[in-house]
Amino acid sequence: MVMFMLALVNIIVITLWSASNTEMMIAGNARRSMQTKISATSGMNHYMALGMGYEALREQVGLREELLVIPETQLGDRTFYDVKVILCCDESIRQYIVISTGYYKKGGKVLAIHPARAIFQSVE
């Protein structure tokens, strides 16, 4: 009887430990995901603070359609962002797409990525 009760208690302890460990891993993933979203938003805000107009972008892009405007920038210990611009569509409407990508890295390895995209239209 004592051995049966001991085995039952061990099973309960292992089940509780496993459940709490899984919850901690899920919480860590959610935290990393949120940090990449914040990094991507910071990159977008950084781009908007530069105040670059369509003409300035067109000059820098040249024959390419894509331009890395802000290279990888460190936001925190493990969070980074970069921002690129894609000139597309009809030049008469002067629209372009800005993509800010947030990264969470640990030991040089990317653990999470979140891109934020916005369409800008110049009214110069």
- Taking only the tens place, the pLDDT of each residue in 4-59 is 999 999 999 999 999 999 999 999 999 999 999 999 999 999 999 998 888 888 88
Q: Which domain holds residue 12?
A: 2-121
Q: Whole-angstrom Cα distance, residue 53 to residue 76? A: 29
Is the whole-model pTM more than 0.75?
Answer: yes
Instruction: Supply 6's token pair.
Output: 């001991």
Kindly list the distances between the CA atom of residue 42 and the CA atoms of 49, 76, 120, in Å, as whole numbers in the listed order.
10, 11, 17
Task: Give the model's confidence band at 75: pLDDT under 50 very low, under 70 low, under 90 confident, else very high.
Answer: very high
DSSP string, 22-43: HHHHHHHHHHHHHHHHHHHHHH
Structure confidence at residue 52 (pLDDT): 85
| Domain count for the chain | 1
Yes or no: say if 33 and 112 are a contact pair by the CB < 8 Å rule: yes
